[in-house]
Structure 1
Amino acid sequence: MKIILTQEVSGLGTPGDVVEVKDGYGRNYLLPRGYAIRWTKGAEKEVISIRRARAAREIRDLDHANEIAQQLSGLNVKLSARAGSGGRLFGSITPAEIVDAVKAAGGPSLDRRRLELPSPIKSTGSHHVRVRLHPEVVAKFDVAVLQSK
């Protein structure tokens, strides 16, 4: 089955890529979740707009990725969330909240889909977050989760 990716799928490709996958994977996983659309001649024209949008968001090159990694390493990111006794949160911290906190702390704007959390953040304290900025560059920074009153 020939499909056009609309979102980044690890191990498969990035938005705008035309890839060939097994029928079941495309029909049962990629298409229902909105990660891809079926390839047609008309959809091929849509690839141009997807690639244009990706180019606007994308890190330009390796040097730019290293520059952003430097900015992130010196950043002091703090989030406040409601928590019960013992520091356990009511819910969890989402990648979108982390991206907003980075921007509020004076950092660069990031794509929430590029954040790599080893496990969901469900407690107060300091947590390690990784961001894949470029295939060769992974930035690491700490997020301090504080209990709101």
Structure 2
Amino acid sequence: MNKNRELKEAKVAEIKEKLEKSKAVVLAKYQGLTVEEDTTLRKNLREAGVEYKVYKNTLVILAAKELGLDGIVEYLEGPISVAFGYEDVTVAAKVLNDFAKDHKSLELRAGIVEGEIFDEAKIKQLATIPSKEILIAKLLGSIKSPISSFARVLSAIADSKGTESAE
């Protein structure tokens, strides 16, 4: 087997592994970004724990087909970048969407979220969902609120009983 084919097969295996390991994958059209903008985007993604790569579409198509993700093939036209989110499902979409608001050259195309193909609209919708940590904090806050209110009422009752007995 020739060296070029071996390299391509290794790349397909790498992409396949990343697709399997990712909780969310977001495809974006990046053509038109300046080097400075691309560097800033990569930095933002890296800080958020998202891996950002540019692969040949044919290699991504091969890896996706091997995993049964044929629905993503239609979105792989032109220069496409791939963002792999390993921890939180929303992070990759959120960072790319926020960046795209200020940089019209970046367009979200589609994605894969836990094995399901998302179109551009669903990816943008996903980007608006708060992160897992924020949702947990809100849940805990809503659970704590009634308990705190109840404790204040009991404290007020105890204080009023204490002032009545002192008189």
Question: What's the TM-score, normalizing by structure 2?
Answer: 0.23
- Structure possessing the higher radius of gyration over alpha carbons: 2
Higher relative CO (Cα under 8 Å, sequence separation at least 6) belongs to 2
Give the structure with the higher percent helix: 2
Question: What's the TM-score, normalizing by structure 1?
Answer: 0.25
